[in-house]
Amino acid sequence: MTENLLISGGTLIDGTGSNPKPNEHIFISDGKIVAIGEDGDKKANNFCEEENIPSDQVATINATGKVVMPGLIDSHLHCTFDDVQSNDELFFHRDPTMVALVAAQNLRKILRAGVTSFVDPDTAHGIGPALRDAIEAKVVEGPRMKTGVQALLTAVGGTAGRLIPDEGTVGYAQVVNSKDEVIKWVRRHIKYGADWIKIHATGSIPGKPGELLVWNREEIKAACQTAHELSVPVMAHCRGAESVRVCAEEGVDLILHASFMDESGLEAICENQVSICPTFTFLANLADFGSKVAASPGMEDIFRGEIEQTAKMIRKAYDNGVRILSGSESGFALTPYGHWHAREMQVFVEDLGLTPVEAIETATKNGAWAMQLDDQLGTLEVGKLADLLIIDGDPIADISILNDKTKINTIISRGEQVDLDSLWPSHEPIAGWKVGNWANEILTWDKAYE
């Protein structure tokens, strides 16, 4: 372990919302930032003299011409899904032991994309707490992690609709069918080690457009009260105006998506100081690149419309002081690990009109709140934990470069330099992991002989 590290000469983006500062020096010792500023090198020398640290025990990095910024915090990803293409394969074709082994590899991809902390709302087979603890114990390499166990769904289902059983547990889902069951499973998940409780407030009902609120107020309130009594926050998947308003009114701390939020929902969000993680990245990737992955016809326009409609209200929320977080929804075929963790910031700049500095704050300072470490993470300040990036290029001029792994010169996680020279983590096809298709298109007589 490199316990003492001096990073010199870089342009500092500290994550607080302040403008970049050129020619800054940062001194790290024992995993924390000890000195920072134009005179940070002098402060580092004074510290070493006081602590009797010889100069040959101080590593140095020359960051001249580069940008130094906090490590990214992805407030919404799924490290156990493994770039899944369908709910069917996720629910019914994933062995829990193999899920854990593959997730350990996924964690390395996430870290090497510049993500030094993340929140995983729900995990396949509920293995999130075990992964988190394995990271902290250095059994596996990965970013700092906060996690749920499984998502709580009513029998109506979530985005998977009829794939959800009437009761029981499947994949990332735990079905609850009454207020009493909600209370029981919130308590159990907290006992199992949940940092967050996630409820799937909306779901898809066959024959009805979009997603509808599939929890009643009593159930939502019970989830929030029970979790809060045990000092655990609650997040809710909300892709509908009514769900945003009701969840904000009944005590939810963080809204995921907030799709189609209306003025009444915004009022409830502001009144109750609820945070939002829009997670536009999944939608934006399909809207912009759907044709390249054979997306269903018309989906590009549908998802682009959802972004445009929702972005207007998210911007209003931001202007009213609502905390906005950056999340990638990584774990799906549209959002594979290591590739799109910074895309949300780009969407915030292009569709919400945030400045790059403001967008970076959503993935650093604001994300530290979701990590429940806002006094320790998210900004580069004296006393904070040393998670930071050195970037070749200027993300203020072009925020999209943070998606380019070749622009990440150095990653410091827990005060230590991450090895970026090793091969990118990957694996061969796993038996039974993916569901084969008979065909990707309908074979009509005309198509066969056209």
Do 175 and 95 lie in a common domain? yes
**Looking at the 3D structure of the chain, how many domains does it have?**
2
Q: Which of 341, 360, 377 is the last residue before a domain boundary?
A: 341
Q: Cβ(315)–Cβ(308) under 8 Å?
A: no
Kindly report the pTM of this predicted structure.
0.95
Six token digits for residue 355? 């400045």
The domain containing residue 319 runs over which residues? 72-341
332 DSSP 8-state letter: B
- Structural domain includes residue 422: no
Do 189 and 168 lie in a common domain? yes
Short-list 1, 5, 29, 3, CA closest to 390: 5
How many helices and strands (H and E) does the chain possess?
14, 20
- Structural domain includes residue 402: yes
Runs of H (alpha helix) within 73-158: 87-92, 96-112, 128-136
> What is the Cα–Cα distance from 354 to 278, expressed in whole angstroms?
14
Largest distance between two CA atoms of the chain: 83
> What is the Cα–Cα distance from 197 to 20, expressed in whole angstroms?
36
Do 273 and 186 lie in a common domain? yes
Length of the chain as a residue count: 450
User: Residue 120 CB: number of other CB atoms within 10 A?
Assistant: 29
- Structural domain includes residue 263: yes
Do 202 and 57 lie in a common domain? no
Does 88 have pLDDT greater than 90?
A: no
- Structural domain includes residue 123: yes
Q: Residue 444: its pLDDT value, please?
A: 55
Do 88 and 146 lie in a common domain? yes
Six token digits for residue 270? 């502001």
In the chain, the percentage of residues whose pLDDT exceeds 90 is 76
Do 326 and 402 lie in a common domain? no
Do 107 and 238 lie in a common domain? yes
Do 234 and 149 lie in a common domain? yes
Q: Please report which confidence band the pLDDT of residue 159 belongs to, taking 50, 70 and 90 as the band edges.
A: confident
Of 10-14, 142-146, 162-166, 247-251, give the lowest mean pLDDT range. 162-166
Using CA atoms, how far residue 403 sits from 94, 103, 284, 328, 339, in Å, is 29, 21, 14, 11, 6
- Structural domain includes residue 240: yes
Q: Which domain CATH number covers 334?
A: 3.20.20.140
Q: Residue 447: its pLDDT value, please?
A: 64
Do 120 and 33 lie in a common domain? no
> What is the Cα–Cα distance from 210 to 214, expressed in whole angstroms?
12
Task: Write out pLDDT tens, residues 282-308.
Answer: 999 999 998 888 777 788 888 999 999
Do 275 and 162 lie in a common domain? yes
Do 26 and 116 lie in a common domain? no
- Structural domain includes residue 100: yes
Do 288 and 139 lie in a common domain? yes
Q: 59 forms bridges with which residues in the sheet?
A: 5
- Structural domain includes residue 26: yes
Q: Which domain CATH number covers 59?
A: 2.30.40.10
Mean of the per-residue pLDDT values of the chain: 93
Please tell me whether residue 3 adopts helix, strand or coil conformation: coil
- Which amino acid appears at position 69 of this protein? M
- Structural domain includes residue 303: yes
